[in-house]
Amino acid sequence: MKRLLKNSIGTILIAMLPKKADELLNKGMTIDMNLSRRDRFMRDALLQKAKNKNDFETLSQFHENYWINRGEEYFSSGFNNKVLDTFFIPNCSFLIDLLQEQLQNESLKYHTLVEIGTGDGTILEYLSSKFPQIDRFVGIDLSSSQIEANKKLFNGSSNLEFVACDGFDWIKQNGHNAMIVVTSRGVLEYFTQSRLQEFFDALNKFKKNIFIAIEPTGLDHDFIKNPNSEIYGSENSFSHNYAKLFNDAGFKIWHQSKMNYSQPECYINFIGVKN
């Protein structure tokens, strides 16, 4: 009843303030941060409307708008403060160690590591310290202002590059053999299943590539009953069946595990694949 009332209020506000609703849509509203109570009502109603229609494309566009226009605001707000020290190193470093073992067993040299959704660049810098044998580290993010901030912050690191663009498009245009791709803590969850499958298929056209995906999936998503993607969580992002998507693209899984997350609505999955 409470949710229905909130949705009704939001729907009325959208009808009364269509320009404000359009502003929310265009600027992005994935994360409920620094929104007025009025805007929260409209945000929830807009997201719920798309969810009720199972409209993955519209939701994906909402998320893209957010990270393009408000990505720097998110990373500079402290909301994501010290994610390297508080999340990545304590929870994900084991997978980085396993990746190092994979590289030691390969006769081929890997020259490039790409992080899609690099955010403030701290994880990419950490990875560069863990893999001194790799020459080039590329951090990609939709937020051009965040990328400019990263370029200034890491100006002295000659092996770090930062690019403002769609990561999938960058891979299609600049991808090559013997490349490592990394995403962490929720990047792929903002892309539709069809686009993600298209991306994995395109990546598999290159040889000897490795992908590290540290991504959430919905706690209640039963992949046996529904092997396809579902809308989940407060952000209305997407819970993907990563193992199936990677396998369908032709990748082989060399590691898969998961852990409970601070958000009760999801697990964090740790997946390593190669082709």
pLDDT tens by residue, 78-119: 656 688 999 999 999 999 999 999 999 888 899 999 999 999
The residue among 29 and 92 whose pLDDT is bigger is 92
pLDDT of residue 215: 98
| Digit-coded pLDDT (tens) for 240-251 | 999 999 999 999
Q: What percent of the chain has pLDDT over 70?
A: 98
Every domain of the chain and the residues it spans: 2-76, 83-274
H or E element, residue 163: strand 160-164
Q: Inform me whether the pLDDT recorded for 75 exceeds 90.
A: no
Spatial separation of the C-alpha atoms in residues 103 and 210, rounded to whole Å: 9
Distances (CA, A) of 173 to 75, 148, 166: 27, 21, 11
pTM: 0.92
- CA trace torsion 124, 129, 135, 139 (10° rounding): 10
The DSSP output letter for 224 is: T
Which CATH number does the domain 83-274 belong to among 3.30.300.130, 1.10.10.10, 3.40.50.150, 3.90.180.10? 3.40.50.150
Average pLDDT in the 25-37 region? 87
The SS3 call for residue 136 is: strand
Question: pLDDT band for position 3 (50/70/90)?
Answer: confident
- The amino acid present at 29, given as its one-letter code, is M
pLDDT of residue 81: 64
pLDDT of residue 6: 86
Average pLDDT in the 49-63 region? 95
Spatial separation of the C-alpha atoms in residues 18 and 159, rounded to whole Å: 47
Radius of gyration of the chain (CA): 19
pLDDT of residue 83: 87
| Digit-coded pLDDT (tens) for 162-207 | 999 999 999 999 999 999 999 998 999 999 999 999 999 999 999 9
